[in-house]
Amino acid sequence: MKAMILILIMSLYAFANIGTVMALKGKATLKRGTNIVLKVGMSIKQGDKITTKRQSRIQVMLKDDSVITIGSNSSFHFREFKFKNRSSKVNFKANKGFFRVVTGKIGKLAPDRFRIKTTTAIIGIRGTDFSGNITRGKEVIRCYSGSIWVKLNSGVIKNLDSGMLLEITNKSSKVKNAITGASINQEITDKIDISDVTSDITKPADIDKDIHQDIPTQPDYYDDYKNY
């Protein structure tokens, strides 16, 4: 009986809501056993995988206030998420395309337990704003503020501070400096203004009030998202 109760509890946790779709432009689907067409206000659960179509964007706010922006023709897997003080944990996988992460409370509570896996590396954080762009034969990982570390599949670790980027190819990996507004935009060729995504970014009714009570109608990251 105890074993059955434990399995039930673990199952409920696995399918608990971990965030909400706050903005959407174009078309995107969510794989949760079957494919689901995404809409603004829809809940994201642990284990969900989001795939975007061409000229599409989606922005997800997690329960710790982290913001995940997923670009066009991209695939992002929300493999594991736990928000509970210092035992919090994030373990996501970026399969292809563009993503940008602005870390929330977990970035402060448990930065050593925040991981995003790409095809060639693992990204760890120290409370930051960073992005990755995965294309055939090349990855570009950028740090906009704070700092991150990137562990390559070879085991080599690269440290990136604000304004630095790491280019990874099949043959080499190079750290570069001086990110400019122009260079940031070069990663997304089909630029779409945030005003086309949604006329209002508001807090959906099913988000926990005690966690998100301080979220403004237009968050601080709203202007940054215009670049994508």
Cα 217 to chain centroid distance, Å, stands at 20
Number of domains in the chain: 1
Q: Hey, how many other C-beta atoms are within 10 angstroms of the C-beta on 14?
A: 11
| Structural domain of 37 | 2-188
Sort 75 into a burial class: Cβ within 10 Å, 0-12 / 13-18 / 19+. Answer: middle
Question: Phi and psi at residue 73, in whole multiples of 5°?
Answer: 50, 50
Q: Please state, in angstroms and rounded to a whole number, the distance separating the CA atoms of residues 219 and 199.
A: 13
136 part of a folded domain: yes
User: What is the CATH classification number for the domain harbouring 38?
Assistant: 2.60.120.1440
Which tokens is 222 given?
A: 């709203």
Q: Please state, in angstroms and rounded to a whole number, the distance separating the CA atoms of residues 182 and 190.
A: 14
Kindly list the distances between the CA atom of residue 3 and the CA atoms of 8, 12, 14, 33, in Å, as whole numbers in the listed order: 9, 14, 16, 25
Kindly list the distances between the CA atom of residue 13 and the CA atoms of 46, 63, 80, 196, in Å, as whole numbers in the listed order: 8, 14, 11, 35
Residue 194: what pLDDT? 35
150 part of a folded domain: yes
152 part of a folded domain: yes
223 part of a folded domain: no
115 part of a folded domain: yes
Q: Which residues contact 210 (CB under 8 A, 6 or more apart)?
A: none
**Sign of torsion over alpha carbons 121, 77, 34, 37:** negative
pLDDT tens for each residue of 92-148: 999 999 999 999 999 888 999 999 999 999 999 876 899 999 998 999 999 999 999
CB 57 within 8 A of CB 197: yes
CB 21 within 8 A of CB 207: no
Sort 50 into a burial class: Cβ within 10 Å, 0-12 / 13-18 / 19+. Answer: buried
Residue 59: what pLDDT? 97
Residue 171: what pLDDT? 87
203 part of a folded domain: no
Q: What is the mean pLDDT of each run of 10 residues along the chain (228 residues)?
A: 43 68 96 94 96 96 95 97 88 96 91 94 88 94 94 94 94 78 37 35 35 32 38
Residue 178: what pLDDT? 52
